[in-house]
């Protein structure tokens, strides 16, 4: 996968501070005055903004070019309503040579990986056969796999990225989603180092999201065992 930040709000720090202070400053040249603030004054304002109403954060935008990700990922990705998206079409693009994502589950599981890869090869052959038989791409695409690779362009505000970070950086998030989103955050911080506190979660969307994956696995395993014990008692009774 490749994640590239291709555009962002110019002069974002000053825009952010200006929109926050619009309700307090009546000067026509307030924006120019804020530009003249010292870096210490600006940082103090940013620190203050972290714990206030976030509406001003919506004036700062980031546009990402994301390539080589699965449609399973983008199906989740576009559920974030406060975003704009442009995605590669399978309706008009011939997907004869499609690539696909192999999830981390298959690492070290050779038998399962072979089954998975064989299935992908079969789908590719059947898709090509359909196209060669004159079936339009928009109809042949019905057999393409969910993990087929795709490209998507996405735009989010700073506020939306902040909210997404509280769930998508969680250990509970899908591995591919977590990896893509971390690359997005890294790209933003590279151009706007001051934005890091806005994008690194100090809290999760729900308390349970803070639990590491092994804790979840232990709890699930415990639940399964308890349910089996209950069922066994019922049978014995």
Domain boundaries, the chain: 2-87+148-205, 104-143, 207-237
**Confidence label for 175 from pLDDT (cuts 50, 70 and 90):** confident
Confidence (pLDDT) at 205: 65
**Catalytic residue chosen out of the listed positions 168, 172, 178, 231:** 168
In which residue are the tokens 């700062």 written? 60
From the list 168, 190, 147, the residue with the least C-alpha distance to 4 is 190
- Cβ contact 152:85 at 8 Å: yes
In the residue annotation, 168 being an active-site residue is answered as yes
Q: Percent of the chain having pLDDT more than 90? A: 69
Give, in order, the Cα–Cα distances in Å from 10 to each of 4, 17, 59, 191: 17, 13, 11, 11
Confidence (pLDDT) at 233: 42
Phi, psi of 148, rounded to the nearest 5 degrees: -60, 145
Overall pTM > 0.85: no
Q: What is the pLDDT of residues 195-225, one digit of tens each?
A: 999 998 877 767 676 766 565 555 545 554 5
Q: With 60 as the cut, is the pLDDT of residue 108 above it?
A: yes
Distance between start and end Cα atoms, the chain = 55
Measured distance CA(50)–CA(13) in Å, rounded: 13
Q: What is the pLDDT of residues 39-48, one digit of tens each?
A: 999 999 999 9
Q: Which CATH number is 2-87+148-205 given?
A: 3.30.1360.170
């Amino acid at each position: 996968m490749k994640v590239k930040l291709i555009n962002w709000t110019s002069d974002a720090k000053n825009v952010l501070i200006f929109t926050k202070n619009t309700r307090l400053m009546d000067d026509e040249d307030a924006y120019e005055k804020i530009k003249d603030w010292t870096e210490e004054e600006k940082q103090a304002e940013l620190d203050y903004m972290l714990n206030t109403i976030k509406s001003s954060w919506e004036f700062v935008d980031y546009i990402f070019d994301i390539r080589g990700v699965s449609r399973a990922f983008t199906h989740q990705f576009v559920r974030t309503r406060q975003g704009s998206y442009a995605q590669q079409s399978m309706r008009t693009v011939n997907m004869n040579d499609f690539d696909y994502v192999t999830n981390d589950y298959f690492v070290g599981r050779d038998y399962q990986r072979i089954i998975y890869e064989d299935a992908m090869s079969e789908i590719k052959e059947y898709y090509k056969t359909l196209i060669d038989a004159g079936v339009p791409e928009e109809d042949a695409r019905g057999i393409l796999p969910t993990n087929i690779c795709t490209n998507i362009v996405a735009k989010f505000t700073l506020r939306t990225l902040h909210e997404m970070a509280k769930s998508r950086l969680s250990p509970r998030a899908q591995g591919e989603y977590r990896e893509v989103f971390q690359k997005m955050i890294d790209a933003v911080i590279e151009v706007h180092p001051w934005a890091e506190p806005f994008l690194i979660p100090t809290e999760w969307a729900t308390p349970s999201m803070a639990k590491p994956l092994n804790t979840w696995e232990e709890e699930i395993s415990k639940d399964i065992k308890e349910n089996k014990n209950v069922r066994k008692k019922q049978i014995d009774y």
